[in-house]
């Protein structure tokens, strides 16, 4: 072409070649337990590859499961590879004190990550408030108030119109209670404080079909929720007109006010910071996924859910037979929630996180691994 710069053409060909190499490498990453810093990933596999200790190894072998490693190029402060993508410390603060505790196994959060099976008939729930030492990250352990010893509490599932009967007991030295979102009799709304050593029975008719949070509603409410008293209720429609899915997940975003100053220092999906960064949620390529996403964060007025490299169908509050919209990000106010449905069409890692980066960087970045 007239006026064409041969050097610039060569540069463009080099970039296209590097991009191809990165795509091919990304396809391979979904099948293992590799943990890398998000922003440094593509650059590390597209340019010269470096070992975890910062020395060039010439090998494409990734870190194994259980490491918070990032690729480095001998710069202790991080830097850039030939692809001009940041690596090392410059790639971002994922991991470090916001990584999960070292002794947690890959299946430690299975009980909350994967939604329980559908039920029919009356659902009986034993729910006790207990105080536990909860390691929310590698660098932070708090005295948590919990439902049944876990934060979030157990996921409750019922069919619309069926009775949920909760046998509630307060085994702590503070007033607590249990309040469900959704529709039910005000006689069992759960706002009355239950004193230490007290117990009660809540009975609600499950509805409407969708996903709803539950939490403590004792004053100060924000403190009780931020110390771990929250969980998820899934209500299934009697006749489900939605497209069938292969997998159902629960992702409850929470903030942790470690020093109790009215602001969050650590954030997590399902109660442990950085867990899905270290242990990606594995999904077979092409399978349809429904994720129930809930914003349980106190003190921050809004959060969001963003999925990289793919779009999802959005059902606000998990309601309806058809999605309201298709997007790659949704904003959620406090206690807002949605069901999002998607497929991952090719092998690789798909990052998810709030688009409030101060939240993502403090424990709320994770991965889906299409395998």
Pair of tokens at residue 307: 């999925």
Three-class SS of residue 309? Answer: coil
Please compute the mean of the pLDDT values over residues 124-132 and round it to a whole number: 98
Name the domain count of the chain.
3
Q: Write out pLDDT tens, residues 76-113.
A: 343 333 334 344 444 455 778 999 999 999 999 999 99
Above 70 in pLDDT, residue 74?
Answer: no
Above 60 in pLDDT, residue 125?
Answer: yes
Q: Assess whether 68 and 158 both reside in one domain.
A: no
For 150, which DSSP code?
A: B
Q: Assess whether 215 and 293 both reside in one domain.
A: no
Q: Is 110 within a domain?
A: no
Q: What is the pLDDT of residue 10?
A: 53
Q: Assess whether 196 and 301 both reside in one domain.
A: no
Which of 77, 92, 107 is the C-terminal boundary of a domain?
A: 92
Q: What is the pLDDT of residue 250?
A: 98
Domain residue limits at 83: 6-92
Round the average pLDDT of the chain to a whole number and report it: 82
**Confidence class for position 44, pLDDT limits 50, 70, 90:** very low
**Confidence class for position 210, pLDDT limits 50, 70, 90:** very high
Q: What is the pLDDT of residue 254?
A: 98
Please compute the mean of the pLDDT values over residues 171-177 and round it to a whole number: 98
Q: How far apart are CA 160 and CA 205, in angstroms?
A: 8
Residue 27 or residue 227, greater confidence: 227
Q: Assess whether 63 and 171 both reside in one domain.
A: no
Q: What is the pLDDT of residue 236?
A: 98
Above 80 in pLDDT, residue 325?
Answer: yes
Q: What is the pLDDT of residue 15?
A: 43
Q: Assess whether 232 and 262 both reside in one domain.
A: no
Lowest mean pLDDT among 35-44, 99-108, 282-291, 334-343: 35-44
Q: What is the pLDDT of residue 93?
A: 52
Q: Assess whether 71 and 137 both reside in one domain.
A: no
Q: Assess whether 134 and 185 both reside in one domain.
A: yes
Q: Assess whether 227 and 254 both reside in one domain.
A: no
The DSSP annotation for 32-100 comes to S-----GGGHHHHHHS--B-TTSSB----PPP-TT-------S-TT-EE-TT--EEGGGG---SGGGSP
Q: Assess whether 264 and 223 both reside in one domain.
A: no
CATH number for the domain harbouring residue 329:
2.60.40.420
Above 50 in pLDDT, residue 362?
Answer: yes
Q: Where are the alpha helices (DSSP H) in the chain?
A: 6-29, 41-46, 110-113, 221-226, 275-278, 357-359
Edge-first strand listing for the sheet containing 156-159: 156-159, 230-236, 210-215, 179-180
Q: How far apart are CA 223 and CA 350, in angstroms?
A: 33
Which of 236, 264, 286 is the C-terminal boundary of a domain?
A: 236
Q: Where are the alpha helices (DSSP H) in 52-186?
A: 110-113
Q: Is 276 within a domain?
A: yes
Pair of tokens at residue 369: 């691994």
Which of 195, 215, 236 is the C-terminal boundary of a domain?
A: 236
Q: What is the pLDDT of residue 152?
A: 98
Above 60 in pLDDT, residue 320?
Answer: yes
Burial 65-76 (b: 16+ CB within 10 A, else e): eebbbbbbbeee
Q: Assess whether 275 and 329 both reside in one domain.
A: yes
DSSP β-bridge partners for residue 134: 142
Q: How far apart are CA 340 and CA 113, in angstroms?
A: 15
Q: Assess whether 278 and 206 both reside in one domain.
A: no
Q: What pTM does this model have?
A: 0.78
């Amino acid at each position: 072409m007239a006026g064409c710069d041969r050097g610039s053409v060569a540069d463009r060909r080099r970039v296209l070649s590097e991009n191809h190499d990165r795509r091919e490498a990304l396809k391979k990453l979904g099948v293992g337990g590799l943990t890398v810093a998000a922003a440094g990933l593509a650059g590390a596999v597209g340019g010269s590859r470096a070992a975890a200790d910062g020395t060039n190894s010439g090998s494409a072998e990734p870190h194994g499961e259980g490491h918070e490693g990032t690729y480095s190029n001998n710069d202790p402060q991080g830097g850039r590879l030939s692809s001009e993508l940041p690596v090392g410390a410059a790639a971002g603060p994922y991991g470090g004190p916001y990584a999960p505790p070292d002794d947690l196994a890959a299946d430690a959060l299975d009980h909350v990550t994967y939604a329980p099976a559908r039920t029919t008939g009356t659902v009986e729930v034993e729910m006790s408030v207990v105080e536990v030492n909860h390691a929310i990250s590698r660098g932070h352990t708090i005295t948590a108030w919990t439902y049944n010893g876990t934060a979030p509490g157990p996921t409750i599932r019922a069919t619309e119109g069926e009775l949920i009967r909760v046998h509630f007991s307060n085994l702590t030295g503070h007033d607590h209670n249990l309040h469900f979102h959704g529709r039910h009799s005000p006689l069992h709304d759960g706002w009355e404080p239950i004193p230490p050593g007290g117990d009660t029975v809540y009975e609600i008719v499950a509805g409407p079909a969708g996903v709803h949070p539950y939490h403590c509603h004792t004053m100060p409410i924000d403190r009780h929720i931020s110390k771990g008293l929250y969980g998820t209720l899934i209500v299934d429609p009697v006749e489900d007109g939605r497209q069938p899915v292969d997998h159902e997940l629960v992702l409850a975003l929470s903030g942790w006010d470690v020093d109790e100053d009215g602001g969050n220092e650590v954030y997590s999906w399902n109660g442990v910071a950085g867990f899905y960064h270290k242990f990606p949620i594995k999904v077979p390529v092409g399978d349809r996924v429904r994720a129930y996403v809930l914003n349980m964060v106190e003190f921050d007025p809004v959060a969001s859910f963003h999925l990289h490299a793919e779009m999802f169908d959005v059902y606000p509050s998990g309601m309806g037979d058809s999605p309201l919209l298709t997007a790659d990000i949704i904003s959620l106010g406090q206690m807002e929630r949605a069901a999002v449905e998607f497929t991952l069409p090719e092998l690789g890692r798909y990052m998810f996180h709030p688009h409030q980066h101060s939240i993502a960087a403090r424990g709320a970045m994770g991965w889906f691994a299409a395998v």
